[in-house]
Amino acid sequence: MLAQPLIAALAIAGSVAAAVFQAADRTDLIPSVQALITASFVYPGLALSMIVNHSIVMARRPRRLTTVEKILVVGQLLIAGLLAVTSLEPGALLLGFLLWPLLIAAAVTACWTMTGTTVRSRRAQRMRRELDDDEARRDLDDHPGTGEIVGVGPRT
């Protein structure tokens, strides 16, 4: 459950480090163009995605990821880690061009999947509440199943 906020924190830390190096005009400390692009643009997007996904999951009961959602989160973490490792090599820019869209697609798929799961679980909860309310109303019925029309008035 804490994987998404942890990944978001790591991504933000990498982005802040790149921003500090750029602000200090020390881009020579950033190992490659891929690292600069990844830390400046890809990791902030990943952090935002993880925060949004975590918020979506917090809106459901129980607050657990499904197996598919766990696989998508781990996949994003692996792609982000692979980007970090390949960013150390200045000649690996082509790999970055291949991995960035893959990470974006994984983030969008995870968000779509988590939203769908949350909507379905909330609908199921609402249906259960409505069924419970219907059963409670049936218990209050004065003449269940008699088919009689109850009239109020003087008896003759």
Share of residues in the chain with pLDDT > 90 (%): 54
Is 134 inside any structural domain? Answer: yes
Backbone region of residue 42 per phi and psi (left: phi > 0; alpha: psi in -120 to 50; beta: other values): alpha
Domain hosting residue 71, numbered range: 3-138
Is 100 inside any structural domain? Answer: yes
Is 143 inside any structural domain? Answer: no
Is 150 inside any structural domain? Answer: no
Is 106 inside any structural domain? Answer: yes
- Give the lowest-confidence range in 1-5, 103-107, 108-112: 1-5
Range 12-29 average pLDDT? 92
pLDDT of residue 142: 52
Range 137-142 average pLDDT? 55
Counting the structural domains of the chain, the total is: 1
Number of other residues whose CB lies within 10 A of the CB of residue 59: 13
Is 147 inside any structural domain? Answer: no
pLDDT of residue 51: 95
pLDDT tens digits, one per residue of 117-137: 999 998 988 888 887 776 656
Is 12 inside any structural domain? Answer: yes
